[in-house]
Amino acid sequence: MQTYEGKQLKLEEQQLIDPIGTIKEDQLLTTDIDRKVITHGATPMVEKLVNIAIKDVESNIVTVGDDRYFGAGATFGASVFTRDISIAGILALNKFYPEVMMDSIKHTRTLREKASFTVAEEYIVEGIPAPWKVKGETEETLRGGPISRRSDDVIWIWGASDWIEKNGNQRDDWKWLYETGKLFFNKIYQYFYDAEDGLYRGQACFVDVHFPTFKANGYPLEWSIGDCVLVKATSTNSLYKVAMDKMAKAAEILGLTEDVKEWKMSSKALKEAMIKELTYDDGKFAFFKDKQGNLHKRQDALGTAFVVLHDIVEGDEAEKLIRQYPLEECGIPLFYPFYDFTEQLKEYKVHWDGIYHNNTSWGFVDTFFLMAYEKATDEDVKPLNIAMLARSCRPNSSFREVVNFINKEPFGSENQLWTAAAFLNVCQRSGIIDK
């Protein structure tokens, strides 16, 4: 179904109505795209949105010298974001743009291996016992970003394994993934592991740590950059768990019997540690545990989705977990509850005045959450998913980065890669476009 009728959100064949206005099909951007996607019985509204999504994706293909990769969105230029690339791939682009996607993943590996723990001095994190080195001003390091801002880097293993599974399951591809995965576990990821509680340190997936001269808004404002990196987040630990599962699968395909056992044991131990260390008494997963070992009384939508999608919780527990999290027609709050920075905004210079990760919902997160919701409940929420993402495409605009949860308005970068990929994902799941 490509229409939706809720309390404050309606998606009809030729228009969308939500609390901030009406979007008519003829107000949407008319696109000129090289690739024609075959749709199946799409409404005029959805047909146009599919074409806008494809245009957004193609506008993000970046070429720098001999390198070709996906950028993140209109405002991000040539910056390389492993998380954006991997998530967009998992959602849709591993199948739609396999060559560019694998070029992108391999480009991130080249940059990350080269940069490793070479960072600007303010990004050295006390508490991560790694071989830190103060960097020079090299283009490669800057475009890849310091590991202190990319401590969810392990997500590439999920992205790459999903690519392999959707593009032939070739043994040589699994061999590349396994050898590269071992390299990064040994060279980078091992330093984030804390044997005391069995969890991995590192920022919550995609939630920016603070900057040297101003604050992000996904962590307490009084924290340092290091405080943000030293959290143990549900979302990022979920990424390590799925990485271990995929490494075990690769080892099995390669006939490495002892390695299979080790990766499976590591995955099992991490799952047990997450359940023990990152849940409240009622079974809810915390956004993160801080460096002092305290669980903050806050959940997050992406971590909640990931623990369901990756079978860290299953059955009745998964359904209970997903149903208790707030779900609104304009989106799913990225955090619950949000931070209240009202007083501290007078004291700190804060990115986007405190509304970017805080007080927002993100279309790609909404999509992962609704996929988890369907898995846990067996309910079809794809029409809501389509309408939710459609409202981020306002008249004469493309797919936007984020939605302000206070006034419900989409904002941030246009041509946002993972929002467009999320729309293609739900259209695939709905049978509107081919998988």
Task: List the CATH number of the domain containing 105.
Answer: 1.50.10.10
**Quick check: is 389 in a domain?**
yes
Shortest CA distance to 73 belongs to which of 83, 94, 86, 59?
59
Which residues touch 282 (CB under 8 Å, ≥6 apart)? none
Q: What is the mean pLDDT of residues 388-404?
A: 95
Whether the predicted pLDDT of 138 surpasses 70: no
**Quick check: is 435 in a domain?**
no
Whether the predicted pLDDT of 196 surpasses 70: yes
- pLDDT at residue 30, rounded to an integer: 83
Mean pLDDT of the chain: 95
Q: Which domain holds residue 171?
A: 4-429
**Quick check: is 206 in a domain?**
yes
**Quick check: is 373 in a domain?**
yes
- Ranges of H-type helices in 8-144: 44-59, 82-88, 94-96, 98-115, 139-144
Q: What is the mean pLDDT of residues 122-145?
A: 83
What's the sign of the alpha-carbon dihedral 372, 375, 376, 378?
Answer: positive
Q: Is the preceding omega at residue 337 within 30 degrees of 0, hence cis?
A: yes
Model confidence over 21-80: pLDDT tens digits?
999 999 998 887 766 788 899 999 999 999 999 999 999 999 999 999 999 887 888 889
**Quick check: is 33 in a domain?**
yes
**Quick check: is 331 in a domain?**
yes
Model confidence over 166-177: pLDDT tens digits?
999 999 999 999
Tokens matching residue 318: 């998964």
Q: What is the mean pLDDT of residues 336-344?
A: 94
Whether the predicted pLDDT of 203 surpasses 70: yes
Tokens matching residue 324: 């208790």
Tokens matching residue 160: 């790459």
**Quick check: is 385 in a domain?**
yes
Whether the predicted pLDDT of 187 surpasses 70: yes
Whether the predicted pLDDT of 226 surpasses 80: yes
CA atoms within 13 A on the CB side of 358: 22
- pLDDT at residue 297, rounded to an integer: 87
- pLDDT at residue 122, rounded to an integer: 96
Which pLDDT band, with edges at 50, 70 and 90, does 245 fall under? very high
- pLDDT at residue 296, rounded to an integer: 86
- pLDDT at residue 141, rounded to an integer: 58
Quote the number of domains for the chain.
1
Whether the predicted pLDDT of 119 surpasses 90: yes
**Quick check: is 434 in a domain?**
no
Q: What is the pTM of this model?
A: 0.97
